[in-house]
Structure 1
């Protein structure tokens, strides 16, 4: 008998074997490598992401036990918010967590009043407009349930840790976690709906026959309870009504105290306290520090690209085109769930500075396309480099490549692409003019940059920017301590020595010292203003004001907001006549 040759395992099967072994051994190094490979973790994310975040190292100093066991019930659900987005409160979230049988929603044990967070109204506004790009093919009812769950998830962690501040874009990050834990069911096709209704009818007939037989037996037995007496049967309880197919079930009644929900909440807590804590303080200095690191990194990784990115901004300013990238971990700018999930596969197991290195890797990978488009643009764009800002702020399409997937092919001619680019300048909602770039290539570039130019090395000088209160520094301390950390330690670092004094100030000789690769001196800000047309200046002022509103919209009392307002007002006052 001729032996049948064995089929080689698929890449999915091979990847699962690797993941199983790394998970069993808690091998973070192996998981980091796997996360950057084509395909990522795919269906294994619920197992892997908690390990990358080191959720099992979360301890509470109050009771020296896992904080999730102590506080889990404090965030199982949220109190319904009234029409004004406000509720009253008398107890702290921690006190409620210690109390037996409490809940944040109305339950059979009562509805104790809960300490609300100051940002809950903004959370409600943002979650009500979430899940627009993805997932697709879901009903309006399902979308509303997703939004309610997302609001519940965000409010839960904010109430548990009221020292944290919400920032717009945080809901984009958590939506990625939520959808990987609870992927929605798509709208069924016509045939699937028909089969489902047929099955429901058959089940209804079966229940009806069983109930009829049960009532007959009950009536028969009730007539012979006592000899010689006719004892009427008790009235049976009403049958439970099954809601119609299109009924909307109150989302507050859905169970959010399952094992998956508890695991998701723990991941979110660790993410907030150890990865994005710098963005959840009272100001945005931490994000400015990340942009400073990006500026330093580009100056050494690719001086010509650094000079180009510097030319589109006022002298000495930071690369604000990447602000939403570093603030939301790319989740606001990526319009595909698998793509942003792959980015999290690569980034979650690394120092929080990974978002800076991924930003630089995207720019380096996209540099050839940027240069080609710039060379084909009309003269007005090269005369006024600030008009090139959209070319940098818009991500190229990043496609989640796998070992067996074929790369997307561009079908457009250079002329068509240029026409598309000019249209896109006037309408950013149009598709990107860039050709797709595989994620694995970007990850490879990011890893190479991390190894060659570490964030705390002499070139990038991260330790000259970030202080001991930053997540970049505390992450290294946690890893050196075996990953053990406590919520109290993290909360104590909020707004404390996140950025070192003077770290964000531009160099005093910025206007006089030529940058590497520059032919002419970078003009000062006022000099730039005198060269630009008034209409462009007004647009630039609106742009700067818009960035300020986007960043400081929820934190309007911070120093950063006043700075942004001052810049926009200066431009307006200088050229409004």
Structure 2
């Protein structure tokens, strides 16, 4: 009972005496941010802790942290980045196709962005993609590759995005970049066996509907960037995939279908009905639950168990076979402050050149930080100034 003079107590979070729910959330974020900082400054870097942070609840928390952690997950040295691409990259055989795809990707840029700003970013995106393709002649462009590239660009700026995209292209995305779609089809072939291992009823329904796996193709080859309208949901999934096995997007697709089993079983058992339902991912889909259950699915049914099924026995994935080497390469990285000191000490052009290099790096770091923040949060032309400076280096 309450009345005049009654003291109103602030609601406390159950199980944590004296701590409000808001205070608990804040302290949880602070603790996680501190753990990530400690992992980044360890020598060598605690890559296992960074992967754990990326896949656990909340992911990497912010764009600032992502710009520090994503390169570490891919063993990218931020002090040894590719140069600004020159006009030579536009001689690539896929230039016209890349440019058309980029022009069709307007919705991937922040709403309200000025036309001039968007035009600069689109040109940068074309150059980032073409630089990677020119640098790796064995790679073949596919429609959807630009969706992954734009996520990296909006998060990290052009030079760092180029370096990360190059590593992803030769590892996680390698199967999609073959001359034919055969390897991509093989990756999709994991989908139905995974569903069958968890639900015979759902698997039988999907088989009778003849829906196949094509509904999940764009999910897989764009890491869901093409089908999700919420940029933060895309980033959360990228945290997860960058820290995981190359097949994790397939496991994620299987788990997404499993979580929608009641909906699927209510529609008509025919290809158009099931395809339409599965192709439209609900806007309020619980992504933290999806990630948690996908991790459990992967642990319960690892790829080598699924591979034993008859349809997959001959699958030889380049992405999977190169994953162990990527994991090994990430285990002995030095923290950025050590790399920065070594970069300065190793300059061959004297103290002045070394100092100028560090100034450039400092400006680049500030530019990338402010520019990515502007991309994600504001549409102010003033905040775009530093990002445009990136093109000078």
Partner Cα separation in structure 2 for residue 270 and residue 45 of structure 1: 16
**What is aligned with 1:552?**
none
Partner Cα separation in structure 2 for residue 171 and residue 284 of structure 1: 17
State yes or no: 1:288 paired with 2:185: yes
Aligned CA distance change for structure 1 residues 152 and 396 (closer, same or farther; 3 Å):
same
Aligned CA distance change for structure 1 residues 167 and 138 (closer, same or farther; 3 Å):
same
Aligned CA distance change for structure 1 residues 479 and 40 (closer, same or farther; 3 Å):
closer
Aligned match for 1:361, one of 255, 258, 276: 255
Report the Cα offset of residue 11 of structure 1: 3.4
State yes or no: 1:33 paired with 2:41: no
Aligned CA distance change for structure 1 residues 160 and 334 (closer, same or farther; 3 Å):
same
Report the Cα offset of residue 50 of structure 1: 0.9
Is there any run of 5+ residues in structure 2 with no aligned partner, and where?
1-17, 333-393
Aligned CA distance change for structure 1 residues 368 and 262 (closer, same or farther; 3 Å):
same
Aligned pairs for 1:270-349 (under 5 A) are 270-313=167-210, 318-349=212-243
Cα deviation code 1:275-314 (max 9, x no counterpart): 1011111011111011111122111122222122222327
SS of residue matched to 1:138? coil
Report the Cα offset of residue 263 of structure 1: 2.5
Aligned CA distance change for structure 1 residues 291 and 53 (closer, same or farther; 3 Å):
same
User: Matched residue pairs, number?
Assistant: 306
Aligned CA distance change for structure 1 residues 481 and 157 (closer, same or farther; 3 Å):
closer
SS of residue matched to 1:142? helix
TM-score by length of 1: 0.49
**What is aligned with 2:28?**
11
**What is aligned with 1:389?**
275
Aligned pairs for 1:537-552 (under 5 A) are none
Work out which structure has the larger RCO, using CA pairs closer than 8 Å and 6 or more positions apart in sequence.
2
Aligned CA distance change for structure 1 residues 385 and 458 (closer, same or farther; 3 Å):
closer
Aligned pairs for 1:419-430 (under 5 A) are none
Aligned match for 2:292, one of 444, 452, 455: 444
Aligned CA distance change for structure 1 residues 161 and 480 (closer, same or farther; 3 Å):
closer
Aligned match for 1:22, one of 5, 19, 39: 39
Report the Cα offset of residue 463 of structure 1: 7.0
Cα deviation code 1:405-440 (max 9, x no counterpart): xxxxxxxxxxxxxxxxxxxxxxxxxxxxxxx22211
Is there any run of 5+ residues in structure 1 with no aligned partner, and where?
59-65, 80-103, 105-113, 183-260, 375-380, 398-435, 485-577
Aligned pairs for 1:188-203 (under 5 A) are none
SS of residue matched to 1:132? helix
Aligned pairs for 1:380-529 (under 5 A) are 381-382=268-269, 384-397=270-283, 436-457=284-305, 461=309, 464-467=313-316, 470-479=318-327
**What is aligned with 2:341?**
none
Cα deviation code 1:338-391 (max 9, x no counterpart): 11010000111111000111101111222223334x2xxxxxx44x44432111
Aligned CA distance change for structure 1 residues 292 and 457 (closer, same or farther; 3 Å):
same
Conserved in 2, the CA contact under 8 Å of 1:456 and 1:463?
A: no
State yes or no: 1:148 paired with 2:156: no
State yes or no: 1:53 paired with 2:61: no
Aligned CA distance change for structure 1 residues 337 and 460 (closer, same or farther; 3 Å):
farther
TM-score by length of 2: 0.71
Conserved in 2, the CA contact under 8 Å of 1:321 and 1:393?
A: yes
**What is aligned with 1:370?**
264
Partner Cα separation in structure 1 for residue 257 and residue 325 of structure 2: 30
Aligned match for 1:137, one of 112, 116, 119: 112
**What is aligned with 1:176?**
151
Larger radius of gyration: 1
Report the Cα offset of residue 477 of structure 1: 4.4
Conserved in 2, the CA contact under 8 Å of 1:305 and 1:367?
A: yes
Q: By percentage of residues, which structure has more helix?
A: 2
Aligned match for 1:350, one of 244, 263, 271: 244
Report the Cα offset of residue 453 of structure 1: 0.2
Partner Cα separation in structure 1 for residue 246 and residue 258 of structure 2: 20
Partner Cα separation in structure 2 for residue 481 and residue 52 of structure 1: 10
Cα deviation code 1:143-173 (max 9, x no counterpart): 1112111111111111122221111111111
Conserved in 1, the CA contact under 8 Å of 2:193 and 2:306?
A: no
Report the Cα offset of residue 14 of structure 1: 2.2
Cα deviation code 1:416-472 (max 9, x no counterpart): xxxxxxxxxxxxxxxxxxxx22211000110101110001125765972431x5111
